Amino acid sequence: MNSRTNRVAIVVRMTLVASFPIIASDCIAAPVDPDVAPSLRELVQRSSNALLAVPDENEWRIVRSLRGAGAEFVGRTVRLRNAPARSDAILLRRESLQTHWSDPVPLSKRGASFVINQLESSDDQRLARAARYLLDSDQHVREECFADLSQADFRDVRLIANRLPLDALHRAVARDSIAPHHRRSAGILLGLAAGNDEAKVLINSIGRDKEGLGLGDDGLVAGYLLASGTDGLVELERRFIEERRTPVTTIRAVLAGLDFIRENAADQFRDADLRETMLKIAERPDATDLAAAQLAAWHDWQAVDGLVRIFEANNDRDETRKKAARVAILRYLSACSRCPDPARQFETETARTALAQFERSHPDAARRATVLSGVPTRTSELQ
C-alpha cells in the first residue's frame, strides 16, 4: 500500500447498472425527444452518490462530490480495473447505497466543468446554457446540450426559443455526419427558433440522410411545420405525399412529424387540417396501413368516411400490401365502432355499418383484423 498522504489504495469493482429508478420530481411531461438518452447531469441527479475524479499517476484522485454524502471521499485516490486509458476526468456514480458503482464515464476537462455548471443552475439557466453551447467544439459538451434540450419539456424549450443559436442549428441540420437523434432534435429546435428562411432549410433537408433510411427526418418535418404553420401542410403534401416516388421511409418520417405536432403544437394546427393530411397519406398504397393506425392512435374518428372510401377504392396490385391496408382500416373501424362518446354517435354508426358490409365482402381480412385487435368485428357483437 502506498503511504502518500490522503492516499488509500482501493480496488473498486465497477458494475454497469442498466436501469435506474425514476424519481417523480424528475419526470418530464412532454420531452422534445424522449428517445435521446438522459444527460449526465440528469443521471447524477437520479443517483444516490456521484463523484468526480482526475488522473493521478496510475490511479484516480477524487476531487469533488457531485451528489450524496461523498465528502469523505474527496482527496482520496482509487485504483480502477476498468478505467479509461486516457481521460481528463471520470464520473463515478451509483443508484443507491445497495448497488455497485457504475462504470467510470470519461469526461474532458471542459465537459466536467459544463456538467458541474448545469448541476448548479436553475432550469431556465440550464436550458439557456444548453442552447448557447449546442454545437460546442467539445463532444462531451455537445452531448450534454442535446440531451438537456431534448429531454426538457417542450413547453419550457419554447420559452427560450429566441435564445437558440440559429447558425449552429443550421449547421447541425445540414451536417451529413450528425447522429440521427441529434438531427431529429436539431430540426425541432430550429423550427422553434425559425422563420421562413429556416423553414426552407428544413424542408430541403428532408430525405437527404446519407443512409437513405430517413433517420432523424421526423424532427425536420416537425420543425418545418413549427416554422411554417398550416401552410406547411400544403407544401408537405405537394412535395412528398402526392409525389409517388417518395420512399416510404420519408412518409414514415412525415407521419411521425405530424404526430409530434398534434401532441405538442395543438395551438398552431387544427385537428381537421392534420386529419386531411393524414388521409392523403392513407391514399398512398404503401402507407394506408400506417395512416389508418395513426388515426386510430389519435382516436380521430372523424376520419371514418375517408377511410371507408379508401377501403372501397383500393385497387393496389400488391396483394400483400392491399391486405395489410384493409386489415388496418378494419381495425380502425372496429375501434371507432366502440367509441363511447355521445358526440361521436354518427361516426360510431358509420363504422358499424361499414364493418357489417366489409366482413361480408372481405371475410379473410375481417378475421385477421379480429385476431390482431383482440376484439370482435361483427357489428352484432358490438351492440
Q: Select from 23, 14, 15 the least CA-distant residue to 44.
A: 23
> By mean pLDDT, which of 96-105, 215-224, 244-253, 282-291 is the weakest?
96-105
pLDDT digits (tens, 9 = 90+) for 97-123: 767 888 899 999 999 999 999 999 998
pLDDT at 228 over 90: yes
Task: Give the residue-averaged pLDDT of 224-241.
Answer: 95
Type of residue numbered 21: P
Q: Select from 277, 360, 362, 379 the least CA-distant residue to 328.
A: 362
Rounded Cα gap, residues 82 and 92, in angstroms: 12
> By mean pLDDT, which of 145-154, 163-172, 264-273 is the weakest?
163-172
Q: Select from 283, 362, 373 the least CA-distant residue to 335.
A: 373
pLDDT digits (tens, 9 = 90+) for 307-321: 999 999 988 888 999
Rounded Cα gap, residues 201 and 197, in angstroms: 7
Q: What is the chain's mean pLDDT, rounded?
A: 83
Cell of 8: 488509500
Tell me the CA distances in angstroms from 243 to 205, 224, 247, 288, 374, one per residue in order.
16, 18, 9, 15, 36
Cell of 128: 439557456
Q: What is the pLDDT of residue 373?
A: 60
Q: Considering the entire predicted model, what is its pTM? A: 0.77
Tell me the CA distances in angstroms from 379 to 207, 279, 333, 348, one per residue in order.
42, 24, 10, 11
Q: What is the pLDDT of residue 50?
A: 92
222, 251 Cβ separation under 8 angstroms: no
pLDDT band at 210 (very low <50, low <70, confident <90, very high): low
Rounded Cα gap, residues 287 and 244, in angstroms: 11
pLDDT digits (tens, 9 = 90+) for 158-198: 888 888 878 878 887 877 777 787 888 889 989 988 766 78
Pairing of strands 11-12, 105-107: unpaired
Q: What is the pLDDT of residue 9?
A: 32
Q: What is the pLDDT of residue 24?
A: 29
Tell me the CA distances in angstroms from 153 to 29, 104, 257, one per residue in order.
6, 29, 17
